[in-house]
Amino acid sequence: MLENYFPILVFVFVALIFGCAPLIIGRLVGPHRPDPAKLSPYECGFDAFEDARMKFDARYYLVAIIFIIFDLEIAFLFPWAAIYGEIVAVDEFKYFGFFTMLVFLAILIIGDFYAWAKGALDWE
C-alpha cells in the first residue's frame, strides 16, 4: 500500500531540493556584506518620505474586483467554447447550451453597466 505513495514522496523531495538548493547555495557562495546604506529603506532610489502603511483609495480595490470578475468570465467562457460543438450536436441541448451562456453573459453585462453607471470605472 505504501509503495503507491513512493513516487509522490520522491516528487516532494525533488521539489524541495529544487526550491531550497538555490537559496542555500546563494547564501553560502554569495557575498554578505551589509552596510547602513544597503540596509536603509528606500522608495525608487529616494529616502522614504511617508509611512509604508498609508491608506489606498477604495477605487483601486474596486477596479481589482472588476478585473477578477472579467477574468472569471473568461475562465468560464473557454470551457464552454471548447465543447460548444458537442453541445450543439445533441438535439436536446442544442439551444439550451447556447441560451445558458447568453444568460450568463447578460448577467455579467448588466453588472458591468451597473458598475459603469455608479462611476466605478471612472478614474480621476
Residue 124 domain-assigned (yes or no): no
> Are both 62 and 82 inside the same structural domain?
yes
For the stretch 103-112, pLDDT in tens is 988 988 898 8
Q: What is the largest CA-CA distance in the chain?
A: 74
For the stretch 111-124, pLDDT in tens is 888 888 988 777 76
> Are both 62 and 113 inside the same structural domain?
yes
Give the structural domain span for 23. Answer: 2-47
Residue 112 domain-assigned (yes or no): yes
For the stretch 63-110, pLDDT in tens is 788 888 888 888 888 888 888 888 888 888 788 888 888 998 898 889
Higher pLDDT, 6 or 112: 6
What integer is the mean pLDDT of 17-23? 95
> Are both 111 and 66 inside the same structural domain?
yes
Residue 37 domain-assigned (yes or no): yes
> Are both 74 and 111 inside the same structural domain?
yes
> Are both 90 and 111 inside the same structural domain?
yes
Over the chain, what is the mean pLDDT?
83
Domain tally for the chain? Answer: 2
Residue 24 domain-assigned (yes or no): yes
pLDDT at 15 over 90: yes
Residue 123 domain-assigned (yes or no): no
> Are both 65 and 105 inside the same structural domain?
yes
